[in-house]
């Protein structure tokens, strides 16, 4: 009798010992219905001085509101209206996907009116790779409220840097981007490029369902060009996974990466060029007598200047271009050797609860979203991030509003052209050191651009001391950035 009760008691206690902590973990993981992003997680000052506001309040409630961090007031140089529409499987922009390519000149004040025709969840436009003022960054719940059906929103920013960029939704982005709410943005240099190409074309890569496409077309596309023409091809990877491309039998160069010109790029042949999710690569080539061909991973190809469009696809070369050593070095524009702050961004994976859902989730520095660092900087700081991938999948990491300079990979210093990136593939087991100059105040996402991973919690933020939130995630605006 006594023994049986005792056994039951032990069993009960053991179950409770197991279940109660789990229940507590489950409960602790539940996200409130609406919350201020700036108060999430914990402030990480990266071995630098703790800001006055951060030290005082812990939760940065006071300061300049994000909504006030706008661009100059002057009249726009370029005005566009982009209307988004739900077309069943796809979401179109002005009737197509990819949406129209916007072409502007460096220095232009760009004013884009986003009109949401009928996208039920609401929408936004984020200018991927453009260092816009924070209020124009297009992140629902962080820099604006989602634009609901029938509503409009005006983005204003100066296109300060020339290069290849793109725009996409940052409301329920893992669905809306995949369904095609995206397009390219090309900023041509003020006063024209050093060498004007004869042909300047974008190649937007996107998978609709299982089908890989180039500017919306599967299979082989044709680009008109004459032999000896100089071609600049601006490749944009809008997918969740790494893309690559190669040019069978043609010599070419990589002119730019993520919108920044490569310094003294050398000729390449028989090498595959990687393009991380969200990333861009501009190729330069002189069209040979018989034309040239570009083959892309995922299926599409481009026949340039009379190349045989019916020819069979070539196989991917074994060698892959390494940007750590490509091009020629030149001194960085700020001191990267004595950073004001050092941040760890270590990605892992472990079982736990994410907003009450059990699963195996991504972690940042060991914690599950939202128990992750808020990287804190003061304007003018140089911050060096060490991004380490200790998980079992690759992560294309994207910081909004800034460009990072790659310093090293796995301890090996970068020796090529300065490698400026906003979309950096961090492979399994890799660790990159990236220097960032804090010159654009605001609250900025720093997340994985495999947008499925982002929706699974692989999202942190960079926040400037003295800045306050203007918006909330969730709530009656239904803001859901990922
Ligand atoms: Cu291309 Cu946070 O996004
Ligand atoms: Cu990822």
- Tens place of pLDDT for every residue, the chain, 482 residues? 556 777 778 787 878 787 887 888 887 777 878 888 787 789 999 988 898 655 434 455 578 999 999 999 999 999 999 999 999 999 999 999 999 999 999 999 999 999 999 999 999 999 999 999 999 999 999 999 999 999 999 999 999 999 999 999 999 999 999 999 999 999 999 988 878 999 999 999 999 999 999 999 999 999 999 999 999 999 999 999 999 999 999 999 999 999 999 999 999 999 999 999 999 999 999 999 999 999 999 999 999 999 999 999 999 999 999 999 999 999 999 999 999 999 999 999 999 999 889 999 999 999 999 899 999 999 999 999 999 999 999 999 999 999 999 999 999 999 999 999 999 999 999 999 999 999 999 999 999 999 999 999 999 999 999 999 889 888 888 899 99
pLDDT tens digit string along 11-39?
878 787 878 878 888 877 778 788 887 87
- Which tokens in the block code for residue 88? 């069943």
Sequence-distant (6+) residues with CB within 8 A of 56 are: none
Q: Which ligand is nearest to the CA of 395?
A: 2
Residue 222 CA to ligand 1 center (angstroms) comes to 30
> HSE (CB half, 13 Å, CA atoms) of 79?
4
- C-beta of 170 in contact with ligand 1 (< 6 A): yes
Q: What is the pTM of this model?
A: 0.94
- C-beta of 400 in contact with ligand 1 (< 6 A): yes
Atom of ligand 1 nearest to the CA of 139: 2
Burial class (CB in 10 A: 0-12, 13-18, 19+), 72: exposed
Residue 142 CA to ligand 1 center (angstroms) comes to 13
The label of the residue with tokens 């271009």 reads: 321
- C-beta of 341 in contact with ligand 1 (< 6 A): no
Residue 170 CA to ligand 1 center (angstroms) comes to 7
Residue 442 CA to ligand 1 center (angstroms) comes to 15
Q: Which ligand is nearest to the CA of 139?
A: 1
- C-beta of 293 in contact with ligand 1 (< 6 A): no
Q: Which ligand is nearest to the CA of 424?
A: 2
Q: How far apart are CA 367 and CA 32, in angstroms?
A: 18
Q: How far apart are CA 377 and CA 353, in angstroms?
A: 30
- C-beta of 449 in contact with ligand 1 (< 6 A): yes
- C-beta of 234 in contact with ligand 1 (< 6 A): no
Q: Whose CA is nearest to atom 3 of ligand 1?
A: 128
- C-beta of 395 in contact with ligand 1 (< 6 A): no
- C-beta of 168 in contact with ligand 1 (< 6 A): yes
- Which tokens in the block code for residue 451? 């947008």
Burial class (CB in 10 A: 0-12, 13-18, 19+), 427: middle
Length of the chain: 482
Q: What are residue 374's DSSP bridge partners?
A: 43, 461
Q: Whose CA is nearest to atom 1 of ligand 1?
A: 128
């Amino acid at each position: 009798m006594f023994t049986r009760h005792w056994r039951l008691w032990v069993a009960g206690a053991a179950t409770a010992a197991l279940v109660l902590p789990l229940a507590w973990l489950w409960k602790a993981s539940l996200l409130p219905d609406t919350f201020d992003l700036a108060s999430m997680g914990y402030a990480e000052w990266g071995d630098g001085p703790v800001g006055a506001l951060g030290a005082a309040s812990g939760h940065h409630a006071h300061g300049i509101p994000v909504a006030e961090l706008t661009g100059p007031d002057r009249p726009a140089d370029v005005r566009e209206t982009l209307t988004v529409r739900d077309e069943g499987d796809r979401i179109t922009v002005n009737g197509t996907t990819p949406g129209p390519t916007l072409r502007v000149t460096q220095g232009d004040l760009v004013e884009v009116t986003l009109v949401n025709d009928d996208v039920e969840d609401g929408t936004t436009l984020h200018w991927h790779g453009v260092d816009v003022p924070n209020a124009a960054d297009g992140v629902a719940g962080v820099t604006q409220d989602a634009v609901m059906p029938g509503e409009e929103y005006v983005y204003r920013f100066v296109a300060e840097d020339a290069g290849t960029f793109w725009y996409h939704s940052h409301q329920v982005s893992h669905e809306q981007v995949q369904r095609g709410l995206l397009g390219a943005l090309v900023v041509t240099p003020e006063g024209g490029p050093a060498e004007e190409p004869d042909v300047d074309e974008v190649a937007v890569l996107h998978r609709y369902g299982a089908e890989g496409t180039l500017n919306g077309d599967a299979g082989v596309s044709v680009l008109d060009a004459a032999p000896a023409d100089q071609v600049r091809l601006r490749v944009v990877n809008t997918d969740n996974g790494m893309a690559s491309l190669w040019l069978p039998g043609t010599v070419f160069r990589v002119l730019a990466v993520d919108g920044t010109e490569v310094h003294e790029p050398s000729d390449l042949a028989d090498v595959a060029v990687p393009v991380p999710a969200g990333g861009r690569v501009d190729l330069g080539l002189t069209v040979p007598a018989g034309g040239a061909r570009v083959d892309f991973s995922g299926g599409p190809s481009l026949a340039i200047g009379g190349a045989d469009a019916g020819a069979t696809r070539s196989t991917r070369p074994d060698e892959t271009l390494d940007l750590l050593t490509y091009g020629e070095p030149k001194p960085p524009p700020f001191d990267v050797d004595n950073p004001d702050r050092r941040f760890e961004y270590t990605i892992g994976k472990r079982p736990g609860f994410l907003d009450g859902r059990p699963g195996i989730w991504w972690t940042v520095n060991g914690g599950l979203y939202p128990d992750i660092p808020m990287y804190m900087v003061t304007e003018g700081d140089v911050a060096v991030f060490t991004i380490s991938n200790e998980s079992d999948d690759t992560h294309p990491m994207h910081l909004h509003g800034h460009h990072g300079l790659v310093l090293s990979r796995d301890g090996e210093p970068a020796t090529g052209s300065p490698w400026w990136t906003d979309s950096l593939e961090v492979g399994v087991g890799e660790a990159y050191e990236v220097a960032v100059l804090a010159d654009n105040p605001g609250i900025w996402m720093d997340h994985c651009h495999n947008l499925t991973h982002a929706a699974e919690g692989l999202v942190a933020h960079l926040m400037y001391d003295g800045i306050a939130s203007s918006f909330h995630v969730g709530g009656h605006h239904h803001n859901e950035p990922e």
